[in-house]
Amino acid sequence: MSQTALITGASQGLGYAIADRLAGHGTRLVLDARTPADLDAATTTLLDRTDTVAIAGDITDPGHRAELAAATEGKLDLLVLNASALGETPLPTLATADLGIFRGVLETNTVASLALIQILLPHVRAAAGTIVLISSDAAVTGYPGWGLYGASKAAADQLARVLAEEEPAIRVYAVDPGDMSTAMHAAADPDADPADLLDPATAAARLDPLLRGELPSGRYAASELSTVVSS
């Protein structure tokens, strides 16, 4: 029986790159994204390669989370929590940040991730599977303007740490994939040189050891994974 993976934020960027990589291994995919047209376009390129279920919606919506859980059919080998909200652009200082927008960033990047973990955890346990939370170096470094996003990712990192202790029979990872050439990065830093940014497909390839659940639970930077694997 083929494995099943659920990937949030899968219509573009890293989420799509991970889906594309897993499709090459015949993994059954359950994909989520907020924009139906973008998700439909992404799914079209995957359907010929593997069984793919695409459900558009917002992971902050309990009804949408229930739909995603039902689509896994009770067994989930891999959950990739990639969907994220950046918040205000241009990025604000903490002194001027809108607290209502901050609550929205936390709801998407942290609260909804935990809510999805809660509803899907029995399915991951049944498969002795893997949960991957996509993090950021902004979770551990104080970059001006990145306070809201970074705080939400730092909180998600802590969820991963605690969940790994509470669920030793599964793998739980938080991973910083590196600075990538994505729409979110362009919105956050429009002056960045694309030549300095990773292609999402390259970042996804670096995550292979985590997607396969080969390493101990923990927090990783994708740039270090080749060193970890070879050591």
Residues assigned a catalytic role: 149
The phi and psi torsions of 174 (rounded to 5 degrees) equal: -110, 135
Of 65, 137, 145, the C-alpha closest to 108 is 65
Q: What is the CA radius of gyration of the chain?
A: 17
Helices within the chain (DSSP H only): 13-23, 36-44, 62-71, 99-106, 112-127, 147-166, 183-188, 200-206, 208-211, 222-230
Residue 180 vs residues 63, 78, 176, 203: alpha-carbon distances, Å: 31, 22, 11, 8
Q: Are 84 and 109 contacting, i.e. CB atoms less than 8 angstroms apart?
A: yes
Written as six digits, the tokens of 228 are: 């970890």
Angle at 5 between CA 183 and CA 31, to 5 degrees: 45
Q: Is the peptide bond before 194 cis (omega within 30 degrees of 0)?
A: no
Q: Is the peptide bond before 216 cis (omega within 30 degrees of 0)?
A: no
Residue 26 vs residues 90, 94, 130: alpha-carbon distances, Å: 40, 45, 17
